[in-house]
Amino acid sequence: MYRKNFGGSARAPKTRSLSVQARSASIFPLYEYHGRLNVEIACLDLEGVLVPEVWIGVAERTGISELRATTRDVPDYDVLMRQRLSIIENHGLTLSDVREVIGTMEPMDGAIRFLDWLRTRFQIIILSDTFYEFSSPLMRKLGWPTLFCNHLEIDGEDRIIEYRLRQADQKRQAIQALRMLNFRTIAAGDSYNDIAMLSEADAGIFFRPPGDIAQAFPQYPVTENYEELRAEFRRASSRAI
């Protein structure tokens, strides 16, 4: 509808120029549409990919060397967590003790820049075996990406007495659910507990895996820094990014 200005002449409604539209498409490749659904989701492990291993940090800060074991060492997650719960109970560690250590930890060098690059090209979900009860300090430093993880059961004395999986085999299940929603997924991880996620995704990438894990699963490209990881995401994408 035309509207008169104070001078009496008609003024047509403003429209965006084609050049502005073209610039918008290049700035926001995440939402480009080429006649088909084309949104891709980057699914990342947390520890070892974006932040240091939390339990290694707790081990170093407390001097409890038994807590250094991770899924790189113990493929069975339940066995590993039962081991951790027993150790922290024997040493009297509380949730507050663990959170205090995590509060001093920082994202890995280059992780935030990598996430900033990724956000403009993909939607991001962190698929992790960590726990909501102590993940918030690190999530804050990473800019609060979406996190799917697990829960801890805490008693009235702040002791960690049990862990609760959000869902059995949750990384695989998450990728399957995203596929059913018509999303294409590219996943990156570093350890045994990421293999199901990598195998289920449309493309899987290793980031700094131990040598034995990389050799056991040679189908996944190995990256050792964020530049290489960016290159693999570009290569795996179905879009020109």
Written as one string, the DSSP assignment of 113-166 is HHHHHHHTTSEEEEEEEEEHHHHHHHHHHTT--EEEEEEEEE-TTS-EEEEE-S
Catalytic residue among 45, 194, 200, 232, which? Answer: 45
45 is catalytic: yes
Please tell me what DSSP assigns to residue 189.
E
The annotation status of 76 as a binding-site residue, yes or no, is no
> Any known ligand binding at 3?
no
**Which has the closest alpha carbon to 62: 31, 28, 93?**
93
129 annotated as ligand-binding: yes
Catalytic choice (47, 194, 200, 232): 47
Opening angle at CA 182, ends 180 and 185, nearest 5 = 95
Q: Report whether 121 contacts 87 (CB < 8 A).
A: no
Structure tokens at 114: 């990598």
The question of whether 47 is a catalytic residue gets the answer: yes
Annotation-wise, does 140 bind a ligand? no
Positive or negative CA dihedral for 87, 91, 95, 100?
A: negative
- 171 assigned to a ligand binding site: yes
Ligand-binding annotation for 45, yes or no, is yes
193 is annotated as contributing to ligand binding:
yes
Q: Annotated active-site positions, please?
A: 45, 47
Q: Which residues are annotated as a binding site?
A: 45, 47, 53, 84, 128-129, 171, 190, 193
Binding site per annotation, positions for substrate = 53, 84, 128-129, 171, 193
Binding-site residues for Mg(2+) sit at: 45, 47, 190
